[in-house]
Amino acid sequence: MMTPAGGAICRSSCGDGFCSRPNMCTCSDGQVAPACGTRSSQQCGIRCVNGGSCVGGRCRCPEGYTGASCGQPVCEKSCQNGGRCVGPSRCACVYGFTGPWCERDYRTGPCFTQVSDQVCQGQVSGIASTKALCCGTVGRAWGHPCETCPAQPQPCRRGFVPNIRTGGCQDVDECQAVPGLCQGGKCINTVGSYECRCPAGHQQNEATLKCEDVDECTAVSRVCDGGRCLNSPGSYSCVCLAGFLPSADRKHCVDQRVGSCYRRLVNGRCAQELSGRVSRARCCCDSGRCWARGGLPEMCPVRGSEQFSRLCEEATSSDAIPRANSSLSGGQGGASGTRESELTTDGRGPTEQVYATLTRRVDMCEQLVNPCPNGRCIPVPSSYRCECNVGFTRDPRGDCTDADECASQPCENAECVNTPGSYYCQCHPGFQRIPYRQTCVGKTLTCVW
């Protein structure tokens, strides 16, 4: 820094010249400029600026500048978010960013909890937050137009945001920062996250962030087998069909129907029938492999499976499991004289109106296991009927049984052999069957001369 006799101050070196007025030099060649070089500076071919000096034909730059003429400022760290270096370690930031390196984003905008097919959804109401606060808490996208949050926010991981004064990462109290978070339940802040404790039968909705009722009737598979599920706020109950009784907590329908129990399966059919008539639960949870009622066989669930555990747990928790010769046997009245059709849907007495309402809404073909072997199940009000396959006919009980086509003696010159759903003609000696037809004709002799 030079101070001439006149009192003017020049920040840059005037070299061979002199400081003639503030920050302006009168050089040895008579020109007035912010800086002058030495006589040897002419060897550089260019003027060294920002205090640079010509040494050995090149500009030697002071700290904070670089380039052929020392005209390019140097920043220790790269300027972020579109900022540019304008002086030694000094960044000029675009709108919305601040800080030495333009690292702090002070823009505010909407926060979204979901991104589906590149569309931001689930805007958090009542808040216009910074990107750091949104992406560091419940957000998956931020802004307008929205920007997808990084998988791991920087410079702090999720659940933390930078402290403006210290620059360190500090925990975010999501319960205070996000309006409506865990509404309907209790929000508890934890280090790096939060916990939403919803009432029984409720869970936090990922989109709305509120505690909402769980519809167990659709969320839980086969929740009310043998009945109809009724959802209620925070819970549900089962309205059971005739032949089923509600469990003590009314969360399941316990099968009280009785039928025949079989010990083995042979070629996919029930075999070795045990004596007496018992419920499906007692059969399958004891030693049975197959249970049948009214000609409708039902395979027992595999031991150790979820269905097996549920069936046997329900049977254990039930107060009454029908044994042999139960009042339900065959649908006839026992000691109490109660017919199966009079069993209530709630176990408290005959309610034919409730049963009628239930069966109108329940597809019996979906409720029963394989109700129409060798046929197609057709639901009808309060029941079902079987539409038999070709080659089968309905018996008096409504089941599809094999039709004995041989009874009408369809085969000429052959013995008729009945098969399940069909028949074939076994031709007598000297006759042969015409392909694709159940007809036997005499063999044609071929003479060889």
Is the pLDDT assigned to residue 321 strictly greater than 50?
no
What was the pLDDT predicted at 206?
84
Phi, psi of 415 (to 5 degrees): -95, 135
**Tokens for 296?**
């409708």
Per DSSP bridges, beta strands 375-380 and 290-293 are: unpaired
- pLDDT tens per residue across span 197-211: 999 999 998 888 899
* Residue, of 92 and 335, whose pLDDT is higher: 92
Mean pLDDT, range 34-51, rounded to an integer? 70
* Average pLDDT of the chain to the nearest whole number: 77
Question: What's the rounded Cα separation, in Å, for the pair 376 and 284?
Answer: 26
Helix, strand, or coil (residue 6): coil
Which pTM value belongs to this model?
0.46
Distance of CA 395 to the CA centre of its chain: 47
The DSSP element (H or E) to which 383 belongs, if any, is strand 383-388
What was the pLDDT predicted at 278?
86
Is the pLDDT assigned to residue 186 strictly greater than 90?
yes
